[in-house]
Amino acid sequence: MIHDFCIIGGGIVGLATARALLDRQPGASLILLEKESGLGHHQTGHNSGVIHSGIYYQPGSLKARLCRDGAARTKEFCREHGIAFEDRGKLIVATRADEIPRLDALYARAGENGIRATLMSQAEIAEREPAIAGLKAIFVPDAAIVDYRQVLDALAREITAKGAEIHYGAAPQAIRERSDTVEIALPGGTVQARRLVACAGLQSDRVAQMAGLQIRHRIVPFRGEYWRLRTQRAGVAHSMIYPVPEPGLPFLGVHLTPMIDGSMTVGPNAMLGLAREGYPKLSVDLRDLGAMLAFPGFWRAIAANIRPGLDELGNSLFKRRYLAACQRYCPSLELADLTPMAPGIRAQAVGAGGEMLHDFLFLDTDRMLHVCNAPSPAATSALPIGDMIAGRLLDG
């Protein structure tokens, strides 16, 4: 059988793309291949559960537009499917005088991006969040929290109801583009489809190379290490509490995030990973490590980010140092408040020149489209990303 569409990757972007394709072409034959035993085993299942507003992103960028649209559509999708979400709002806090100009620039960016935001004084911060200390802050009321696994499960139910097949344990071994089909070799046989979309996340560069694409970037894994606050401190803040992000880095800093289950997390940091899918601490995958060390862009990125890299290493090695990063804006936290929590791993695309790619990267051929970089906030933006991919695939 030749399917109309094949999607590689069972994360939220892959399922949102399947939904968009089946909405555009009802009755089409679609097969989704996931190498794991279930959906969302990697980035989708290990994120902080935030529906981002889009305040951080360059005005006019694809990232800014997709995030703003995605936030509204994610909330609409949750209402339709009875999935709980909460508009807790986000407080971005400047704790040092040198951060205030960057905070003011973020506030100006919010206006350019059409994001509702309010500046707050030190006294107003204390009034809204008594346990939070800061000199000045931005409050973004539309930022929300959700369990993205529930969103993923609802998407899976939708696409299977529309006829999609989801195959697990289906890691591609080879991909060959023909004149009229794409052939995907699997351990148990071959799948043929007229169009292929690869949403392979942490393995996206390898899948692109397997399909014969010439790429100039590589995926470098960054471990996001979290702590969960003990139950007695889970109400230390009502809103999400974020520091002012460091310029030039794609990471937002260690933040406090209330979760939809009533818990509160602290993190993540951004520690260089030595395994793309190695979640236990000190995990090493020799294949992943060798590929990273052989890529010149990796060394250029390291050279350009030595200071923040050492900071993240210190936070990873020393719990007290991690705590100190949180105490800048939440001084009442204590070492005993931090309890262990599973980490996440971010697929960070790095260019040949060492630049960390901040926006989405798509590569396509006549019959394939590869999502080579889907950075945060990809979960927030998944529904409009899916629509965009479907449009690009079907309309050119």
Annotate the chain with three-state secondary structure: CEEEEEEECCCHHHHHHHHHHHHHCCCCCEEEEECCCCCCCCCHHHCCCEECCCCCCCCCCHHHHHHHHHHHHHHHHHHHHCCCEECCCEEEEECCHHHHHHHHHHHHHHHHCCCCCEEEEHHHHHHHCCCCCCCEEEEECCCEEECHHHHHHHHHHHHHHCCCEEEECCCCCEEEECCCCEEEEECCEEEEEEEEEECCHHHHHHHHHHCCCCCCEEEEEEEECCEEECHHHCCCCCCEEEECCCCCCCCCCCEEEECCCCCEEEECCCEECECCCCCCCCCECHHHHHHHHCCHHHHHHHHHCHHHHHHHHHHHHCHHHHHHHHHCCCCCCCHHHEEECCCEEEEEEEECCCCECCCCEEEECCCEEEEEECCCCHHHHHHHHHHHHHHHHHHC
pLDDT digits (tens, 9 = 90+) for 65-119: 899 999 999 999 999 999 999 999 999 999 999 999 999 999 999 999 999 999 9
Structure tokens at 370: 């590869």
Picking from 75-79, 227-231, 312-316, 335-339, which range would have the lowest pLDDT averaged per residue? Answer: 312-316
Residue 338 pLDDT > 90:
yes
pLDDT digits (tens, 9 = 90+) for 116-138: 999 999 999 999 999 999 999 99
Residue 30 pLDDT > 90:
yes
The arithmetic mean of pLDDT across residues 307-316, rounded, is: 75
Give the pLDDT of residue 249: 60
Give the pLDDT of residue 250: 57
Q: How many beta carbons lie within 10 A of that of residue 174, not counting itself?
A: 11
Between 257 and 322, residue with greater pLDDT: 257
pLDDT digits (tens, 9 = 90+) for 285-311: 999 999 999 999 999 999 988 887 777
With cut-offs at 50, 70 and 90, classify the pLDDT of residue 157.
Answer: very high
The arithmetic mean of pLDDT across residues 249-270, rounded, is: 85
Question: Structure pTM?
Answer: 0.94
Residue 221 pLDDT > 60:
yes
